[in-house]
Amino acid sequence: MAIAFLLSVGPSAAQRAAETPDPLRSLVSRLDLERYKATIKGLTVFGDRREGTDRNRSAIDWIESQLKSYGCTNTERITYNFQPRPAAPRAAGAPPPLATGVVGPQTETAAGGGRPRGVRVGTGVNTDPMKQPDAKLRELNMQPSTPGQRQEVYCTKIGTTHPDEMYIVAAHMDGHGWGEAANDDGSGTALVMELARVFSGPDVQTDRSIRFALWNNEETGLNGSAAYVAQRKDLQGQEDPPGSRRYPEPRWLGMIQHDMMLFDHGAPNADGTMRRQQRPEADVNVEFQATSKLAADSQALGWVLERANEKYASDYAVTLGSHMTNTDSSSFMDLVPSISVRENQRGNEIGSGWDPQWHQPTDVYATYNDDDFRLGLNAAQTTLAAVAQLTGMTLTK
């Protein structure tokens, strides 16, 4: 009798758990390389998308129409005014900047506080149209920026049980340098759009809300994200109208910025040249800022991405660092746990010339191959899985 009873109870709890499909794995499988590449390619139709131009405004319209087509239909825009200011003079005693592409002495400290190693190659923003060999692209990028009104777009997945709380998943859609801003930051913009698509699936439910934001004016000094913070930080958690269970600005739980996702060919060679292929040990660099008010909580958010990466990303690992700098998560870092996700560390590595396309005419779609695009896809898998966990994602079918 006892044996018959044991047989009748079927598989053990552990066996049942092993057989239950993992909804996170199922969600991550909805990302794919060709869709990600196609979204980057779609953004490059608008050239470098420089802020304050018609091509920038057309790109915002296109992004908004794409978000709606994915089912993220509640798109909104904020409007702000941008007046460029002259660049601050170089600090007394600071070394003169190294010309773009020139090998020179390494600095003691990097932007964001890190200690750079190895060869340093000068970086800068290309402003010479004639450096763009493609005449059609040069023409597309010709209209200059004019000061004045700016917009940026976002859409929101509303949480079912906590609509009043959200994670912000973001990238900047503007670029410059007379290329296509394919990597900086078409790669991050496409990642955020792809996550908006997957989270908007009809069978995807989350307890908490997620906002997908595409900042403008990052390249002029984080002005778009700063405008968002200034306009909306005091609206957090307010129900409007009262009793409606609607929260125009859910309380911020975390901010995850994506900026330059594709290119990790390692440090420059001694003569300033680069390896032609993605290095096999390429990684997704997640950074928080050690000097920010919420460093400990931001670090903890970084580890959530690291664990999600280990379980769900197909090819490339996460490395966590403490020198987040020079991207829109800096606008949020003293208000909410904030991290950036990138191809390389921004200060130590990109700042030492690890990405020769950065702000250059060569930042075009055709520069990158599938090993590069796959690094961006792995970052997408990482953030998707982490945010799904953080927001209590379930699949209803």
Which residues are near Zn ion by CB under 5 A?
184-185, 259
Minimum distance, C-beta of residue 218 to Zn ion, in the bound complex (Å): 6
Nearer to Zn ion, 37 or 49 (CB): 49
Within a 13 Å sphere around the CA of 299, how many CA atoms are in the beta-carbon half? Answer: 11
**Closer by beta carbon to Zn ion, 183 or else 391:** 183
Among residues 291, 298, 299, the alpha carbon closest in space to that of 347 is found at 291
CB 184, min distance to Zn ion, A: 4
Measured from the CB atom, the residue of 184 and 249 that comes closer to Zn ion is 184
- Choice between 312 and 354, CB closer to Zn ion: 354
Name the minimum Å distance from CB 126 to Zn ion.
Answer: 14
Instruction: Give the separation between CA 278 and CA 77, rounded to whole angstroms.
Output: 37
Q: Which is nearer to Zn ion, 259 or 349 (CB)?
A: 259
Give the pairing of strands 251-258 and 338-342: parallel
Of 44 and 156, the one with the shorter C-beta distance to Zn ion is 44
Establish whether the linkage from the previous residue to 241 is cis, with ω within 30° of 0.
yes
Q: How far is the CB of 207 from Zn ion (least distance, A)?
A: 31
* CB-CB neighbours of 53 under 10 Å: 20
| CA distance between the termini of the chain | 39
Q: How far is the CB of 36 from Zn ion (least distance, A)?
A: 18
Cβ at position 370, least distance to Zn ion in Å:
22
CB of 174 to Zn ion, least distance (A): 9
Q: How far is the CB of 363 from Zn ion (least distance, A)?
A: 10
Residue with smaller CB distance to Zn ion, 180 or 184: 184
- Residue closer to Zn ion by CB (options 185, 287) is 185
Pick the closer one to Zn ion by CB: 204 or 213: 213
Distance CA 310, CA 319 (A): 11
**Strand bridging mode 283-287 / 317-321:** parallel
| Nearer to Zn ion among residue 50 and residue 162 (C-beta) | 50
Cβ at position 171, least distance to Zn ion in Å: 8
Between 152 and 185, CB nearer to Zn ion: 185
User: In the complex, what is the shortest distance from the CB of residue 322 to Zn ion, in angstroms, rounded to a whole number?
Assistant: 20
CB 372, CB 363: distance < 8 Å = no
CA–CA distances in Å: residue 273 to residues 102, 110, 180, 388: 10, 21, 22, 40
Cα separation, 98 vs 111, whole angstroms: 15
Q: Please state the closest distance from residue 185 (CB atom) to Zn ion, in A.
A: 4
